[in-house]
Chain A
């Protein structure tokens, strides 16, 4: 008897395989970016933490200025500045424990420095004497990542591996607003949620992907809303409010550490400088927009809060500036020395053991260098 023949016995029912899954409501971000500074929540913030954040922001801004200056002097090949985004950079570093891992992009050298990495090592990639200037395992900072969003699945895999090994480790991965359009963003968030990996994704929505504004990047209600589709919480935060970013990230890290799985945090911020020194931002944005954001400056916000509450005075500000100047002077001094280069390094780390093909090419370069040296010597002798 076919289904058609037993029509009377047929009861319309939902698809048998369908099961209710996660309730989306608790995953949804707030309607407005979460703020602390200038709100009632500020009263609960730890004064020690606020002072620490302030010192780091001041140092971070000076670091950006120094790196930009070094680029103009030809000491760096390129510098993507995080001026205006210091609150995100600093908070991302401060919420992590020693054993945790940070996964930065090219724009996030400040986060690495705030975590304690030597600025010279952080800037190696951008100076161009090697790709990664530090041992990632020693500092638990992944190599600065340039192919957009490709660092995100690494963070998920590392967090997953740590979890499998029974280690209490959280990974925090940074990505830009433009990077959220990449396939790897999607795949990383999906894997993280399915595996309930202890990972936190921080999107620094700084308004632009080089020249392209967010409106051309996505039609989502917010980037934080994207979390819901993966079954993880999304949080929206004022990215220039260091106390708010620190609080939201701390909660997300604690949640991950406690076995609660991943969180997507969107920090709404603004890229005050051009994309890099090589970019001309006059072609795609007006001064008034930049000025509006300067009035919502991460250092200004925190300074206002601290001075209002009597937690910071002129001496405190001067002390912060002096520490920043010390860092800048040291960075300048060391970056003005030419790095030591050994061309033979080109072959040193391609494989554990070089192939015979590479050994041949290595010998070729060695011979070229020897010939160059003999040439210089004979020129010197002739003079």
Chain B
């Protein structure tokens, strides 16, 4: 039996490897953005790509997000497969007109004649001590735009597998990278990269019987920790990692909630108009007769993202999740 060198890799490295492999497999894949070339990106995700593939394939663009996405649209019109990096969540906003008016609807406008196979990578979320404009959870804006896929990995393996799938997709994908998980590690066999994951499938990360925590991206580790802590209180929590907000995997989510009878949605994004409202509505519509309690949400407050010294009060933590679980009307059971 041969032994394989299994060593730890970070999520940032897994994302970089996914880009590298995609570029090696498909000469139409082009990476572009601010500082992605010589520097390798501010999070070093694109490290080494310009060196390996040349600056025409991994391009430092002028500093203009609408221009980056707008020119990527033109490149995709010509048959390339651009992968655009937005430097931070809040700095993607200048590109929203291109995203909403063109990227999301070009397939539709042209009756399928000219789909845009574009991937837009966006580092998002808080918990890294960033000063203002560096920690937004912008997923609800993207979710509200028909025609986009919205995908977010929570594990090192998914970072690779989902990014490969996003790049291979013939539809535009907004690929949200949880910043605070960039340095999370997992064992990794460099000779055998993880599987390419289909976009649109949620996965049960922890099986349990008492209630389901529905979450994604940066909140997955928090939910898993909460589930461990809940064990001591006598709750056996199931944790579903959505991985894809659009398309939404109603099947996996509903199956879990029908099985447990209770659900809490957990995310950093604010609750008002946030993803949790949509998810709670979908669960309620599909699982009403199985529910023992209303679907609850544990979310960021409905405030502009706070300064770093106060952010821990804002982000959903283990205690807030356990408090919500405690409010799931267990009395009725006794």
Inter-chain contact A194/B71, CB cutoff 8 Å: no
A183 contacts across to B, CB distance below 8 A: 66, 94
* Contact B246–A355 (Cβ < 8 Å): yes
Instruction: Chain B residues near A365: list those with CB within 8 A.
Output: none
| Chain A positions within 8 Å of B115 at CB level | 352
Binds B, one of A153-161, A220-228, A256-264, A296-304: A153-161
Given contacts A132-B110, A191-B62, A356-B250, contact A157 B101 (CB under 8 A): no
A130 vs B110: C-alpha distance in the bound complex, in angstroms? 9
A184 at the interface (CB under 8 A from B): yes
CB-defined contacts of A184 to chain B, threshold 8 Å:
66-67, 70, 97-98
Interface string of B22-64 (1 = CB under 8 A from A): 0000000010000000000000000000000000100001101
Chain B residue nearest to A345 in the complex (CB): B111
A150 touches B75 (CB 8 A): no
Is A154 within 8 A of B111, CB to CB?
no
Q: Taking the nearest CB of chain A, how far is it from the CB of B84, in angstroms?
A: 11
- Closest Cβ of chain A to B36, distance in Å, is 15
Measured CB to CB, the nearest residue on chain B to A169 is B78
Q: Does B194 contact A (CB under 8 A)?
A: no
How many residues of chain A have a CB within 8 Å of chain B?
Answer: 41
The answer to whether A284 has its CB under 8 Å from any CB of chain B is no
Are the CB atoms of B73 and A154 closer together than 8 Å? yes
Is the CB–CB distance between B73 and A153 below 8 Å?
yes
B113 at interface, CB cutoff 8 A = yes
| Residues 186-225 of chain A, each 1 if its beta carbon lies under 8 Å from chain B, else 0 | 0110110010000000000000000000000000000000
The total of Cβ contacts below 8 Å across the A-B interface reads 139
A142 touches B61 (CB 8 A): no
Complex Cα distance, B72 from A159, in Å, reads: 11
A158-B78, A187-B64, A191-B62 known; A348+B70 contact, CB < 8 A: no
Whether B62 and A194, one on each chain, are in contact in the complex, defined by CB atoms closer than 8 angstroms, is yes
| Choice from B71, B80, B113, B247 contacting A153 with Cβ under 8 Å | B71
Contact B107 A351 (CB under 8 A): yes
CA distance A169 to B161 in the complex (A): 36
| Contact in complex: B110, A135 (CB < 8 Å) | yes
Residues of A within 8 A of B250 (CB): 356-357
> Could you say which residues of chain A place their CB within 8 Å of the CB of B61?
191
- A184 and B67 alpha carbons, distance in the complex (Å): 7
Complex CA distance for A130 and B94, rounded to whole angstroms: 28
| Nearest CB on B from A112, distance (A) | 14
**Contacts A135-B110, A357-B250 given; 20 further ones with Cβ under 8 A?**
A153-B66, A154-B102, A157-B72, A157-B73, A157-B74, A157-B78, A160-B74, A161-B77, A184-B70, A188-B70, A348-B112, A349-B108, A349-B110, A349-B112, A350-B108, A350-B146, A351-B107, A352-B107, A356-B250, A356-B251
- Identify 17 residue pairs between A and B in the complex whose beta-carbon atoms are under 8 Å apart, listed by A's number: A131-B108, A137-B114, A143-B110, A147-B97, A153-B73, A159-B74, A161-B78, A165-B79, A184-B97, A187-B67, A188-B70, A190-B62, A190-B64, A191-B67, A194-B62, A348-B111, A351-B107
Closest 6 A-B residue pairs measured CB to CB? A157-B74, A153-B70, A187-B67, A157-B71, A158-B74, A355-B247
